[in-house]
């Protein structure tokens, strides 16, 4: 028989969100009449808007014609879309040929791990999106799991908590090859200022590290003074890769469209362009994002599409405001939910899974336990603001009743 990959055996349990789904199903089997509201996984709920649907459907119809049919496309994405992303989402801060269109930020994270291999060292914000740690474990970069500290001894965990305003203490952070940084942060909803991002870039430049900057939620930044891209910061192109996504801003979680930006000037120690190797990875193990979906992306970036994107984002931000307001009224400590769809809070005296179970049992609301995002998430829970308005209103009623 074939031996199991020992790295997979090191993963602590199932991936966080399927684990939550499992517990939800167990609850439903015991309480079949309960009307569950999910504020757990950040999955979009509102229909795709008309301009974007038109872009998608036109691409489908075109495929049914001789003139409009196309087979394999460029693995890097349609050049028109790459140019439009550079112009409309990045205001020309980057060039079209630095954009690689893909099926999402999560698969790109996995492919970036393949790009860098298993000899690199990594740092992550603690707490952070579990894919960074889990994919590093799968690649074998992480050393062993330490039961006592509930972390991997080969990973540098950069604590982000209310005491440091959710920005890591870089003066006490060990040098690593890669630094994963998610902004706005999933799960805390914290957003770094331009000065903070400059500190991060300066730190990476000094240490000759590469930042993998995840801006999947950047469209939720409504405060004009906050940076939406790492490339707004001086020197970032020498040290940063940015991954991003159309999932949350236009409801493409199931449709799938994302991107990775690798600046032309980002180089390895030996002077090779990182972009050159990424191109090799993408052309070898990826066949390009669906051509239909890319046309949806193109539609999202014209004037009407951008307006719709803004409306979709505003809808979820209003949900976040409603949840925040209720938790505030009840006197909870709350973070995020202003320039982000996630609200981070704690239920005094309860660990994360206990709080998760109680909210599920009493209010029939699914949340996400903070500890699932890293050891510093213990004691916290995350509310997602993705949901129909009527469900959010019902959820806050139940919160007022059960969490007072
Ligand atoms: C989350 O809930 O943290 C995310 O939606 C999961 C994801 O985007 O993969």
Please report, for the domain that includes residue 294, its CATH number.
Answer: 3.40.640.10
pLDDT in tens, 113-137: 999 999 999 999 999 999 999 999 9
Query: Is residue 65 in some structural domain?
Result: yes
Query: Is residue 187 in some structural domain?
Result: yes
Say which CATH number the domain at 359 has: 3.90.1150.10
Q: Assess whether 144 and 206 both reside in one domain.
A: yes
Domains contained in the chain, number: 2
Could you give the 3-state DSSP secondary structure of residue 225? Answer: coil
Query: Is residue 389 in some structural domain?
Result: yes
Q: Assess whether 194 and 277 both reside in one domain.
A: yes
pLDDT in tens, 176-204: 999 999 999 999 999 999 999 999 999 99
Query: Is residue 3 in some structural domain?
Result: no
For ligand 1, atom 8, name the residue with the nearest CA. 42
Q: How far does the centroid of ligand 1 lie from the alpha carbon of residue 272, in Å?
A: 33
Query: Is residue 1 in some structural domain?
Result: no
Cα 212 versus chain centre, distance? 12
Could you give the 3-state DSSP secondary structure of residue 39? Answer: coil
Q: Assess whether 42 and 120 both reside in one domain.
A: no
Q: Assess whether 314 and 298 both reside in one domain.
A: no
Residues having CB within 6 Å of any atom of ligand 1: 41-42, 106, 129, 186
Phi, psi of 363 (to 5 degrees): -100, -5
**Span 68-89, average pLDDT:** 97
Q: Assess whether 21 and 122 both reside in one domain.
A: no
Q: Assess whether 289 and 153 both reside in one domain.
A: yes
Instruction: Classify residue 25 as exposed, middle or buried by CB count within 10 Å of its CB (0-12, 13-18, 19+).
Output: exposed
Query: Is residue 2 in some structural domain?
Result: no
- Whether the CB-CB separation of 61 and 298 falls below 8 Å is answered with no
Q: How far does the centroid of ligand 1 lie from the alpha carbon of residue 47, in Å?
A: 18
pLDDT in tens, 247-275: 999 999 999 999 999 999 999 999 999 99
Q: Assess whether 42 and 132 both reside in one domain.
A: no
* Ligand 1 atom nearest residue 131's Cα: 9
Q: Assess whether 31 and 81 both reside in one domain.
A: no
Q: What distance in Å separates the CA atoms of residue 66 and residue 52, rounded to the nearest whole number?
A: 24
Quote the domain boundaries for residue 172: 52-302
């Amino acid at each position: 028989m074939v031996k199991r990959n020992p790295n997979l055996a090191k993963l602590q349990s199932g991936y966080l969100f399927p684990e939550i789904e499992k517990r939800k199903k167990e609850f439903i089997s015991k309480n079949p009449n309960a009307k569950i509201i999910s504020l757990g996984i950040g999955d979009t709920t509102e229909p795709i808007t008309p301009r974007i649907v038109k872009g998608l459907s036109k691409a489908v119809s075109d495929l049914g014609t001789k003139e409009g049919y196309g087979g394999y496309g460029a693995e890097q994405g349609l050049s028109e879309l790459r140019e439009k992303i550079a112009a409309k989402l990045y205001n020309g801060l980057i060039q079209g040929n630095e954009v690689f269109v893909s099926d999402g930020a999560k698969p790109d994270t996995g492919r970036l791990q393949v790009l860098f291999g298993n000899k690199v060292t990594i740092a992550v914000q603690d707490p952070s999106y579990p894919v960074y740690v889990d994919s590093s474990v799968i690649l074998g970069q992480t050393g062993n799991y330490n039961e006592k500290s509930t972390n991997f001894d080969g990973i540098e965990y950069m604590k982000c908590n209310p005491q440091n305003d959710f920005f890591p203490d870089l003066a006490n952070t060990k040098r690593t090859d890669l630094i994963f940084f998610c902004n706005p942060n999933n799960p805390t909803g914290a957003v770094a200022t331009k000065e903070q991002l400059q500190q991060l870039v300066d730190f990476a430049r000094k240490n000759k590290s590469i930042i993998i900057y995840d801006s999947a939620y950047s469209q939720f930044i409504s405060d004009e003074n906050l940076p939406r891209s790492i490339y707004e910061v001086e020197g970032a192109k020498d040290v940063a890769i940015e991954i991003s996504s159309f999932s949350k801003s236009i409801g493409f979680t199931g449709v799938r469209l994302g991107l990775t930006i690798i600046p032309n000037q980002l180089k390895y120690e030996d002077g090779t362009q990182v972009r050159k190797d990424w191109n090799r990875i993408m052309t070898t193990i990826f066949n390009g994002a669906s051509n239909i979906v890319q046309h949806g992306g193109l539609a999202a970036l014209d004037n009407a599409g951008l307006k719709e994107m803004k409306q979709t984002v505003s809808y979820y931000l209003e949900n976040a405001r409603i949840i925040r307001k209720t938790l505030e009224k009840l006197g909870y400590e709350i973070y995020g939910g202003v320039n982000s769809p996630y609200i981070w809070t704690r239920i005094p005296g309860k660990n994360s899974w206990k709080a998760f179970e109680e909210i599920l049992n009493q209010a029939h609301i699914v949340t996400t336990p903070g500890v699932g995002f890293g050891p510093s998430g213990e004691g916290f829970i995350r509310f997602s603001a993705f949901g129909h308005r009527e469900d959010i209103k019902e959820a806050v009623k139940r919160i007022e009743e059960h969490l007072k």
